[in-house]
Chain A
Amino acid sequence: MEQVKCECGHVNPHGTAFCESCGKPLQDVGEKRLLDMRYEGSARRSQTYKRTIIDQIWAFFSSVKVGVALIVITLIASAIGTIFPQQMYIPPNADPAEYYEKQYGLAGKLYYELGFNNLYGSWWYILLIALIGVSLVICSLDRVVPLYRALKRQGVKRHPHFLERQRLFGVSRVNDPDDAIATLKERLAKQRYHVREEDGHLLAEKGRFSRWGPYVNHIGLIIFLIGAMLRSVPGMYIDRAMWIPEGETKEIPGTNGRYFLKSEQFIFETYQKGKENEAFNAAIDRVGNGMIAKNYQTNVVLYKRVGPVIAGAEPKLKKVKEYAIRVNEPLKFDGYALYQVDFRLGEPKAMSFQLTDKRSGASFGTVHIDLYNPKEEYDLGRGYRVKLLSYFPDFEFDEDGNPSTKSRVPNNPAFVFKMYAPDRPKGETSFVAIQQTIEPFGDNKYKMAFAGLETRNVSGLTVRRDFTLWILGIGGAIFMIGLIQGMYWNHRRVWVQRVNGELWIAAHTNKNWFGLKNELRRLLDGTGLTMPADRLEEGKKARQGGQAHGTA
């Protein structure tokens, strides 16, 4: 690789703008008065090599212009995704093709046809994020290595051309330079500068670590993005729904039969006036008493299976723990989390009927039917019994007009009973549904009189396991550390050098010039040294036609 040797003897990589050690400009800086200090003039690959395709791709992705363009495109795309609800927020039974047009007219139709209904999962949105990731990696590598090198090799003694091209620069004439330098050195050290001295020149530096802030935060971002990508790897991430009625024990989906859950009770509470903090009364009045939800809770028992899984056999269960799952208080075990997300109140569980003599009203016993697990026959003794010929948990008439069931959930149970009595040994048939009874074979003597409905609540839980969370957490933490490092500290340097019997002072910071200037003012106060002038401001004033009060 070509290298450039500076007159100070330091050998710089090809492409270096000014010598790493003494700062003498190596490339023609022309009339430009101030040096671009951003990367210490270091040789960046992207700026130096532009021949091969790889060089060009590298240069493309390491350009901040490209990075910002990607960020802005992502930003605009994200905003478009909020114009209408995303598909995951429309009612689950709606057909999106119709829904968007019906709800939002032509705009909605267009939205759907352009694929904005699933924008954040679309290939191009993910590609955008991926490109930002690539750009992050390349641009960081492109800069951090040479920057590290340049900061590590910087010399104390600087070339005059370097000093006079700094934004803060001043020249003082002093009688006793040794004394002035000694004072400054002491004061700089007091301000917690790390001071190096060489041949009577000073380089005071602090907060260099803040220069790594952007790279640290970019690493955090990359880790976060990797974590987010890993969620699509099978097994990293489980998201299942589980409906569990009170009193039942069910296998927890996604646990491969290893865990079971019993729901003891589902509790739904609302805020009731009089029982709550009086301060809430006005709000409760406005919304309505008992209308504001207070608690959704499922009391559960968690079981673990002991022994191997044997198909068909009842699992042997060992109790692990009892817990009240509430919103914001998921049950956690073995990497899984169970969340309270939904519920159904008062779902029919069992129905009771009394076998009754229609005329006399006399009852001959009660039939208690478990709607999830009905028996075929109920013997009431003394010759009375009831046979359940058919059961329709979610009754409707199908297209041919025959009774059938919509689902297995007992939303609208209906039964065909055959009632036997000592005086009706062949039995009487009766069709019983809610609010209706049909006697298909003529007038019966007996009827099944409704005697009660038992209901129960059903909890809707979500089962989650997410092995990517800790990666995301680490990424987020590193990102924050990098941000704070780069934003709340800054890298300040002060050079004090003797040049031809004068004392030259130059200073640089990567951020917060206001703070640096204040600090310099305090440092120089009472020393008789000239406060370095801000040449950027001067330049501007000169251009704006104002007067420049020159010092240099």
Chain B
Amino acid sequence: MVQLSSTLLYTAFILYLIGTFFFGGSIRDRRKEREGKDRWSQLGIAVTIIGFLAQLGYFITRWIAAGHAPVSNLFEFTTFFGMMLVAAFIIIYFIYRLSVLGLFALPVALLIIAYASMFPREISPLIPALQSDWLHIHVTTAAAGEAILAISFVAGLIYLIRVVDQSKPSKRTLWLEVVMFCLITTLGFVVVSTAFGLSGYEAKFTWVDKNKQKDEMIYELPALVGPHEGKLTKDSADRMEPFLEMPAIINAKKLNTVLWSLMAGTVLYIALRLLLRKRIAAALQPWVKNVNLDLADEISYRAVAIGFPVFTLGALIFAMIWAQIAWTRFWGWDPKEVWALITWLFYAAFLHLRLSKGWHGEKSAWLAVIGFAIIMFNLVAVNLVIAGLHSYAGT
């Protein structure tokens, strides 16, 4: 069952990849009459739906194998988020029939699933705090809400790539490249982790933590930065020595991973720039040149309008109900909770600005990008960095 489950996930991944190419084909195909009615798009959406069903199969089989909904660790939650992203895309696609949305939404989903797969993938038993149906209700609804909001980002990104003037460098081109760089760095993380993972690299350190306790730490990437008073153990003696040693309060292993990802991202980015001989966003521009800007704007806004209530329900209301049952209080100002609140406040501000100040079009698109950045921050940084400082580190 577990084997079947991971095969299905793998299948879904490949299908999303193929779907991306079909959607790309539909843009290149000049013969098409109306948006979304051409053969390429039809194939694209069909493959995407089959991929989604495969991933649903992964989800169900894993649920059966584990005996609980597979949303209880970082890998499971993040892949579920990717699945919801595809689901949200399929729904929005059938409302608006915009093929180019697939060309951008599917790669984002692919990146997210690939990113998820870099974390321990085994099925873990539930610790007592997680043994609650409310937790599963909360997590799934929150992920669905975030995924719908992510579609807003995708549409906003399309809008920006189309509208930002690439003929001369400006603040807008710079920030758009920053967005591209972040996406590429995620890819960098996946590439580096996979490469060293396949080679089975392992370096074991002994180190001294901030309570002056001796401990061991295993690196799966060569250590650029080492832990506090870290020494390679005997069986790892041939491994690379770190260039720098970190103080005890910093989790050197995670920082090391971040550094590797940034390095790989930079290399990839520069290579792409050299290959394309222009900004990444400029290279993408021809793909979106036929997009109706108002439609992209409308989709971006509509996704927020649909996603905001779902997010509120899942990430705040259900979260509070569960927290009241499991942790005796519905709200505890834990970083994860605070960042959910921040996300919520941000999208509330977004809606008000749009409604009363008329922030449509480009401004709204930038806001959609920032909103997604906040969601990702909560998913990635709060789990890995901020919570890591606390005794309570989530799952």
User: Chain A residues in contact with chain B, CB under 8 A?
Assistant: 38, 64-65, 67-68, 71-72, 74-75, 78-79, 81-86, 88-89, 103-104, 120, 239, 271, 276-277, 279-280, 282-284, 286, 292-296, 326-328, 330, 337, 339, 341, 462, 464, 469, 472, 476, 479-480, 483-484, 487-488, 511-514, 537, 540
Q: With A71-B352, A328-B325, A488-B309 as given contacts, are A81 and B338 in contact (CB-CB < 8 Å)?
A: yes
Interface assignment of B290: CB less than 8 Å from any CB of chain A: no
10 nearest CB pairs, A to B:
A282-B122, A327-B128, A64-B356, A283-B124, A82-B335, A328-B132, A483-B309, A75-B345, A339-B328, A283-B122
A277 and B122 contact, CB distance less than 8 A? no
Kindly list chain A residues whose C-beta atoms are within 8 Å of the C-beta of B335.
82
Interface assignment of B67: CB less than 8 Å from any CB of chain A: yes
B119-145 at interface with A (beta carbon < 8 Å):
120, 122-125, 127-129, 131-132, 134
A67 to chain B minimum Cβ distance, whole angstroms, is 6
B131 and A327 contact, CB distance less than 8 A? yes
B389 and A85 contact, CB distance less than 8 A? yes
Listed A/B pairs (11) with beta-carbon separation below 8 Å: A38-B355, A82-B339, A286-B120, A294-B125, A294-B127, A294-B128, A295-B128, A328-B134, A464-B328, A480-B313, A514-B295
Give Cα distance in the complex from A462 to B332, angstroms. 15
Give Cα distance in the complex from A327 to B294, angstroms. 51
B305 and A103 contact, CB distance less than 8 A? no
Of B131, B338, B355, the contact of A328 (CB 8 Å cutoff): B131
Give Cα distance in the complex from A279 to B353, angstroms. 49
Closest B residue, CB atoms, query A297 = B128
A397 to chain B minimum Cβ distance, whole angstroms, is 26
Interface core residue of B308, B334, B335 (most chain A CB under 10 Å) = B335
Of A71, A464, A480, A484, the contact of B317 (CB 8 Å cutoff): A480
A279 and B65 contact, CB distance less than 8 A? yes
A78 and B338 contact, CB distance less than 8 A? yes
A331 to chain B minimum Cβ distance, whole angstroms, is 12
Kindly list chain B residues whose C-beta atoms are within 8 Å of the C-beta of A78.
338, 341-342, 345
Give Cα distance in the complex from A319 to B391, angstroms. 39
A341 and B345 contact, CB distance less than 8 A? no
Interface assignment of B390: CB less than 8 Å from any CB of chain A: yes
Encoded as 1 (CB less than 8 Å from any A CB) or 0, chain B from 354 to 374 comes to 011100000000000000000
Of B132, B306, B317, B357, the contact of A64 (CB 8 Å cutoff): B357
Interface assignment of B330: CB less than 8 Å from any CB of chain A: yes
Closest A residue, CB atoms, query B128 = A327
Interface residues on B, range: 35 or more
B317-361 at interface with A (beta carbon < 8 Å):
317, 320, 324-326, 328-330, 332-335, 338-339, 341-342, 345-346, 348-349, 352-353, 355-357
Of B295, B320, B338, the contact of A82 (CB 8 Å cutoff): B338
Kindly list chain B residues whose C-beta atoms are within 8 Å of the C-beta of A337.
328
Kindly list chain A residues whose C-beta atoms are within 8 Å of the C-beta of B302.
512, 514
Give Cα distance in the complex from A85 to B391, angstroms. 10
Interface assignment of B291: CB less than 8 Å from any CB of chain A: no
A483 and B123 contact, CB distance less than 8 A? no
Kindly list chain B residues whose C-beta atoms are within 8 Å of the C-beta of A295.
128
B124 and A67 contact, CB distance less than 8 A? no
Interface core residue of A75, A82, A330, A472 (most chain B CB under 10 Å) = A82
A282 and B338 contact, CB distance less than 8 A? no
B390 and A89 contact, CB distance less than 8 A? yes
Give Cα distance in the complex from A537 to B66, angstroms. 53
Q: With A82-B338, A341-B328 as given contacts, are A280 and B123 in contact (CB-CB < 8 Å)?
A: yes
B321 to chain A minimum Cβ distance, whole angstroms, is 9
Kindly list chain B residues whose C-beta atoms are within 8 Å of the C-beta of A84.
389
Q: With A78-B338, A330-B325, A514-B96 as given contacts, are A71 and B66 in contact (CB-CB < 8 Å)?
A: no
Kindly list chain A residues whose C-beta atoms are within 8 Å of the C-beta of B127.
292-294
A128 to chain B minimum Cβ distance, whole angstroms, is 11
Give Cα distance in the complex from A78 to B391, angstroms. 20
Kindly list chain B residues whose C-beta atoms are within 8 Å of the C-beta of A72.
345, 349
Kindly list chain B residues whose C-beta atoms are within 8 Å of the C-beta of A83.
386
Give Cα distance in the complex from A104 to B335, angstroms. 17
Kindly list chain A residues whose C-beta atoms are within 8 Å of the C-beta of B120.
283, 286
Closest B residue, CB atoms, query A485 = B309
Q: With A282-B123, A284-B125 as given contacts, are A85 and B390 in contact (CB-CB < 8 Å)?
A: yes
For the A-B complex with A81-B333, A279-B1 known, give 7 more contacts whose Cβ atoms are closer than 8 Å.
Answer: A277-B125, A280-B123, A293-B128, A328-B132, A328-B325, A512-B305, A513-B298
B270 to chain A minimum Cβ distance, whole angstroms, is 32
A86 to chain B minimum Cβ distance, whole angstroms, is 6
Give Cα distance in the complex from A295 to B125, angstroms. 11
A487 and B123 contact, CB distance less than 8 A? no
Give Cα distance in the complex from A480 to B317, angstroms. 9
Of B333, B349, B352, the contact of A120 (CB 8 Å cutoff): B333
Kindly list chain B residues whose C-beta atoms are within 8 Å of the C-beta of A293.
127-128
Give Cα distance in the complex from A462 to B313, angstroms. 27
Closest A residue, CB atoms, query B1 = A279
A283 and B352 contact, CB distance less than 8 A? no
Interface assignment of B183: CB less than 8 Å from any CB of chain A: no
Kindly list chain B residues whose C-beta atoms are within 8 Å of the C-beta of A279.
1-2, 65-66, 123
Give Cα distance in the complex from A540 to B292, angstroms. 12
